[in-house]
Amino acid sequence: MSMDLWVPLKHWMKQHPAVEARMNDRGQALVFIFGRLKPGIAPLQASAEINSLATQLPHDTKPALISVEKVRGIPNASSRRSAIPIAAVLMTVVGVILLIACVNVGNLLIARGAARHREIAVRVALGARRARLLRQLLTESLLLAIGGGIAGLIFGFWTNRALELLLAAGPYDSVRLDLAADSESSSSLPSCP
């Protein structure tokens, strides 16, 4: 089965009222649920427990068998293949932007070095060795690189958190169903055929 779009189940049923009766029929397998297994629990054990719970639910027909499988990344191979060109374009754009930023910083350092030409000439005239000047310039560049790296990590962490909060506040947050038992937390994403 190929999935092109993930939408909240309640919104999908509102758009397709004729399907709502089929969705309420617990004997049909129309929904995938993604969640996190508790550490140490095998998929077969989780499948057996979920199926025992499903038989206890009130329904007219025999419930469909529920299977638990480990999934990594996008669960559909064709969806994964179709995401590769988009990811490649995005990574290329990010690489070009990073290259532009590096060239700009390099130009700023060259301009700064040209402006310090007189200072360096005075230091050489006072007897400073080339190794001493080189060590000073490398130390300044290293401090600038470390400061930029730390600022980049902080900015990356901050934007990652902001993106998580933005996605959690978005219209598709209703997709997540908490199936937490005890202290385990899990999120589910239903998919519609």
pLDDT tens sequence across 49-77: 888 887 877 766 666 677 777 776 555 55
At 79, the amino acid letter reads: S
Please answer whether residues 167 and 173 qualify as being in contact, where contact means their C-beta atoms are separated by less than 8 angstroms.
yes
Q: Would the pLDDT of 110 be above 80?
A: yes
Q: For the residues 125-144, what does the mean pLDDT come to?
A: 91
Q: What is the pLDDT of residues 149-165, one digit of tens each?
A: 999 899 989 988 887 77
The larger pLDDT score, comparing residue 181 to residue 140, is at: 140
Q: What's the predicted TM-score (pTM) here?
A: 0.43
pLDDT at 92 (0 to 100): 93
Bin 73: left if φ > 0, else alpha if -120 < ψ < 50, else beta. left
Its sign, for the CA torsion 37, 42, 47, 53, is: negative
pLDDT at 154 (0 to 100): 95
Helix (H, G, I), strand (E, B) or coil at 146: helix
Q: Cα separations (Å) of 3 from 74, 128, 191?
A: 10, 68, 8
Mean pLDDT over all residues of the chain?
Answer: 75
The larger pLDDT score, comparing residue 104 to residue 184, is at: 104
> What are the extents of the domains in the chain?
1-33+35-70+177-193, 79-171
pLDDT at 9 (0 to 100): 73
